[in-house]
Structure 1
């Protein structure tokens, strides 16, 4: 498959990835502080909306599988327009709602935004899984998608902060909403008009979201993926705390995050080529071990260690490419040919596991509270151990379990 075709597919990954960062990071503070909703009410609304977002994905996969690829075109076009409008309404709320009205507005728009984003994302993942029956091509499909997504995350982390410094948070979010809508519509149009079409599948048991659970290879891969996803989610949850309170370098947060994500994008071609040579399973395990070797040094960093932490961000970012590109490609490989009409059901459960991992990673905060860590105060080894030590331990467990995982690839597995 030509690079131009893969690029046409991958470009939608950019706006889809940039959508969630402002919602998770900026919206809570914007509604709670700037709009006066308050922490308790904002937190309650966020919890309920995220709970819905976590449990709905398997059912969305079932809905998507009931449509043919022709139906996916209308589904994606409609959902993209609706998501653009929902994001704009969420980030540019009316000014005279009052606290009860503002809480209802936030809850309704969050639920709608989460649902539409999941609907597009699961369809998009299923589209990529059906582009080719060649395992190596599936790896490249995932690499293009995740590479675009990483640049979307960088854009989402940099653009609002720069705009907020110059014009204030309300103007920054409004500009972001417009930018997101333009990029989402462009990405969707390019996918629908220029990307390769997904293979048509003879329909059999489509629409049964429990079908993937009967696949032993999926259950084993999902277990490894979930443990590794928790290992990735914990540092994502604690990164701002670690940079500000352990390293005491809050002013460099944007640069550290950008370095991490850009390194991840630059590392994707390496993991793609390595997977071609060694297989995806073995390459992913190497990526896990490489990530551990790079990230564990964060435990030893003292306040002010800017250059050392930049090195950790760069090396662990390079390893991130393996976590992004190889697991979804492995998932596409293990879906039996007779179940290809249920591709979205597989990716619906996959998305559910990713969001569940984020929820579980949130438990790191009360764990730190039990160790007497207080945000905004200088932190000791307790924060460093939970931020870097615990994720590395989980990655080692996942890497060990991966050794017994069937490859799901056309060529025999090579033992690592």
Structure 2
């Protein structure tokens, strides 16, 4: 059964929320702490890591709540509205320092769980068709690319134009609110699963995950690669200011990384339909890693070369977003058919916990690398940095992400290609 364009568009617009919240904190929260609040790099990395690491525990709880409440849309609406308000507050009180940022970011992460978990779980319930799921995910990833581009390139531009972070926080909060309302309205009439809720506790949750080898392997690959991507994103600001010595390069570098996704999403859909999602996942990972490895030459080649390499890296990144998310509902449906129980929320909760961990670990890794390189935190972003800090910024941007993306590939065995 073909999913209507209205449902594809309505569901996909939820990526305005996931794209904004996954991108802007990973891109700007670390430099906000180190270069506006003068928080030491290692401490700043922990302040970004710990609130999201909390979701590793909390997201499965949100998954249980989502499964037991029935329709997922009301919970999604409540979580998204709360997130929009809290995100605007995140950058609104610089005098509160690192403690204030850490507490509000923790609340943001909690609200995000109540949006993200039912949002991901809905994917398995909109359609059970293998190819239609790839089509729906392609729509979603295209909107996600737009959201990442708007928020990731727009947020630094707003910050620079207004001379601070507070206006940027309000604007991104409004974008999150728009995404929440549109996905709620746009998915009206989507049927929910007919499986009975198991009311799974944590013992049942661990048992369900343990019984699904395919889910575990796919999750591990996705988390490791998410850590690599988030390390890269955390380094964009530092790559521009510290390595390329041009803060204006940040928007261009980020746009070059994300922009190709708008063009190549249809290509990845065709690859998935013809060769399978697993094959597309492997190829896109390699395309991500190879040009990014050449970015280690950033100090000896023209900046335009780095931008071009970032664009080729973005081609691979777009596929790395499409294929694991398109494979997830196949794995979920296979497990629901095997168990006869409603498990979309449960597995989605575990998945989003892993995703959140991966994207939280990146800034933490980058902060530790900066600290090891002797990065100087200050309220003045233009403060001179030692060469060791420059090298550290480059390693965090290019070397670590390549290593993390490639090390996960051996786990993508043929058994992960589940067709239902």
Q: TM-score range by the shorter chain?
A: 0.7 to 0.9
The CA distance in 2 between the partners of 1:126 and 1:262, in whole Å, is: 27
Instruction: Give the TM-score of the pair, scaled to structure 2.
Output: 0.83
Counterpart of 2:67 in structure 1 is 65
Counterpart of 2:405 in structure 1 is 395
Mapping for residues 118-157 of structure 1, pairs under 5 Å? 118-157=113-152
Change (3 A) 1:244 1:178: closer
Counterpart check, 1:80 vs 2:80: yes
The CA distance in 2 between the partners of 1:45 and 1:314, in whole Å, is: 30
Counterpart check, 1:4 vs 2:3: no
Counterpart of 1:342 in structure 2 is 343
Counterpart check, 1:323 vs 2:320: yes
| CA distances 1:55-82 after superposition (whole Å, capped 9, x unpaired) | 311221122111212xx23222333333
Q: 2:171 aligns with which of 169, 173, 176?
A: 176
The CA distance in 2 between the partners of 1:384 and 1:104, in whole Å, is: 29
Output the aligned Cα RMSD.
3.2
Counterpart check, 1:158 vs 2:142: no
Counterpart check, 1:188 vs 2:189: no
| CA distances 1:93-129 after superposition (whole Å, capped 9, x unpaired) | 5x9xx75xx7775455333221111110111000012
Counterpart of 1:53 in structure 2 is 55
Counterpart of 2:380 in structure 1 is none
Change (3 A) 1:74 1:231: closer
Counterpart of 2:355 in structure 1 is 354
Mapping for residues 292-303 of structure 1, pairs under 5 Å? 292-303=289-300
Counterpart check, 1:231 vs 2:228: yes
The CA distance in 2 between the partners of 1:406 and 1:51, in whole Å, is: 27
Counterpart of 1:414 in structure 2 is none
| CA distances 1:379-414 after superposition (whole Å, capped 9, x unpaired) | 66665455323433333332233145431125xxxx
Deviates more, 1:9-18 or 1:116-125: 9-18
| CA distances 1:136-177 after superposition (whole Å, capped 9, x unpaired) | 111122222222122112221233333333433265236415
Say which structure, 1 or 2, has more relative contact order (CA 8 Å, 6+ apart): 2
SS in 1 for 2:205: coil
Q: Number of matched residues?
A: 400
Deviates more, 1:142-151 or 1:360-369: 360-369
| CA distances 1:281-310 after superposition (whole Å, capped 9, x unpaired) | 111111112222222211233345222112
Question: For structure 2, which runs of at least 5 residues remain unmatched after alignment?
Answer: 378-384
Change (3 A) 1:27 1:273: same
Deviates more, 1:54-63 or 1:334-343: 334-343
Mapping for residues 202-221 of structure 1, pairs under 5 Å? 202-204=196-198, 206=200, 208-210=204-206, 211-221=208-218
SS in 1 for 2:342: helix
Question: 1:13 Cα shift?
Answer: 0.8
Deviates more, 1:400-409 or 1:260-269: 400-409
The CA distance in 2 between the partners of 1:386 and 1:103, in whole Å, is: 23
The CA distance in 1 between the partners of 2:50 and 2:224, in whole Å, is: 24
Change (3 A) 1:225 1:5: same
Change (3 A) 1:150 1:287: same
2:130, 2:330 within 8 Å by CA — same for their partners in 1? yes
Instruction: Give the TM-score of the pair, scaled to structure 1.
Output: 0.83
2:230, 2:358 within 8 Å by CA — same for their partners in 1? yes
Counterpart of 1:258 in structure 2 is 255
Question: 1:30 Cα shift?
Answer: 5.8
Counterpart of 1:112 in structure 2 is 107
Question: For structure 1, which runs of at least 5 residues remain unmatched after alignment?
Answer: 411-416
Counterpart check, 1:314 vs 2:311: yes
1:13, 1:148 within 8 Å by CA — same for their partners in 2? yes
